[in-house]
Chain A
Amino acid sequence: MGLKVEDVKAWIMKTNEQIQQNKEYLSELDQAIGDGDHGTNISRGFQETVNKISSTEYTAVADLIKDWSMTLLSKVGGAAGPLFGTALLKFSGAVQGKEEIDYGSFVEGVEAGLNGLILRGKAEEGDKTMVDVWSPLLTYLKGREALDADDFEEAAKAAMENTKNLKAKKGRASYLGDRSIGHLDPGSVSSYYLFSSLAQVIKEEGVQL
């Protein structure tokens, strides 16, 4: 038994809670190396997603994830919109036709999402972008056959913390050059919230993934 519609809804709700709680923090991180609006933008997009999915019935997980992506695409406003939106749109495509997401299709979804991020942002690993969370996590997932929620959460956290040491090569932060070193990448922090929220949902709902 994998992630069903209600589990994915819980995942979105939990991510939204984390993002709303850390809205100011995300904008502070972005003020250091970007334009300072990441928290405001991403929190607006997730709140709109919660509003949309709360009032809609879903039978397929892919439809739910597609609505999530389309809401972020239209409501975020900053770079995180097309990036998270594209990643989730590709994720949704990868789990099309599934009643629930099992481990194999979750890994396929993350891979499709990462490829979408790379295509959209033209970034590679080491550029200090959210690719630096998604890419190591995909490698982590591919080396396993089932998900240990705590271990997965640790892997996501380590990847997110590693962005502090990197020099930005993409986005507004790249204009800062060496001055970007020593700051966490805001998109990587919100990507960490996404994956750590999933780990929490898996534990709380007793999902076997």
Chain B
Amino acid sequence: MSQVGIVLVSHSHKIAEGVKDLVTQVFKETAVVAAGGTDDNEIGTSLEKIQQAIDEADQGDGVVVFFDIGSAMMNAELAIELSGSEDRVKIADAPFVEGAYVACLEAGTGKDVYEVLAAAERARGHQKKA
């Protein structure tokens, strides 16, 4: 079965690892790779770490990348451009935790990268309190 991978890019190593722990506890089959913090796990993002995470998460069916703020998106875009994999690695404009959760759910049912991306982005409009 096809399986889209998930990459979590946060300024904080702990946030990325924490969200990974949270979603992989539920969705054990999905390839989820954390890329949080700088090379020495300080606050920031690392282009190389993101590149490696995308490589690791990609099982051949594409990857959906989640980011938290600012430079996380810029470095994620750069990593994708430099690897020339724009056609199958997509950045989700979605909430970091809920988006990743929904993406894992969809990826686990064999959806393609566009379907996983769309589902994750729909999580943005999901009312949590209602």
Contacts and interface: CB of A to CB of B under 8 A. Distances in A.
Contact of B74 (A41, A74, A75, A83): A83
Contact of B77 (A75, A77, A120): A120
A173 to B, nearest CB: 10
A136 interface: no
B46 interface: yes
A120 B46 contact: no
A17 to B, nearest CB: 24
A149 B44 CA distance: 36
A74 B45 CA distance: 9
Given A78-B71, A79-B70, A120-B74, A73 B44 contact: no
A86 interface: yes
A82 B74 contact: yes
Interface string B33-63: 0000011001111111000000000000000
Contact of B48 (A37, A74, A172): A74
Contact of B44 (A77, A171, A172): A77
Nearest to B69: A172
B22 interface: no
Interface in A49-75: 73-75
Nearest to B82: A73
B44 A74 contact: no
B69 to A, nearest CB: 7
Given A78-B71, A82-B71, A37 B78 contact: no
Contacts of A78: 44, 71
B74 A121 contact: yes
Contacts of B71: 77-82
B38 A77 contact: yes
Contacts of A121: 74
B77 A81 contact: no
A39 interface: no
Interface of B: 38-39, 42-48, 69-71, 74-75, 77-78
